[in-house]
Amino acid sequence: MTSVRFRPSPAVRASISGDGLVLLDVNGGVVLASNPIGAHIWQLMAQRRTGVEIARQLAIDYGVSIDRAHDDVGTFIRALAARGLVIEEPPC
């Protein structure tokens, strides 16, 4: 994961609560649920942060190593991208 930014697909609706995140792809009918950490990643991604920036923030917020945060963020974002729930933004 580099300084790539992803953004939510226009067809995705998100609901965030204390229990986590629920995503609905209104075009494909796909529903995905995630835990509160997934919700936090989603919120940071919606703030247009890069994967590296998100991993740094998670390492601080949850007291995990940057390597662990980096791996987890990359896995989560790749899973969302594979389902068409996020779109890679072109470089500025």
Give the separation between CA 66 and CA 20, rounded to whole angstroms: 22
Check residue 49 and give its pLDDT.
94
pTM of the model: 0.90
**CATH 1.20.1060 is the classification of domain 10-84:** no
Instruction: Give pLDDT, residue 20.
Output: 96
Q: Cβ distance 33 to 25 under 8 Å?
A: no
Please state the domain extents for the chain.
10-84
User: If you search the block for the tokens 């779109």, which residue do you land on?
Assistant: 87
> CA 16 to CA 22: how far, in whole Å?
7
Residue 8 has pLDDT above 80, yes or no: yes
Residues 6+ apart with CB under 8 A from 90: none
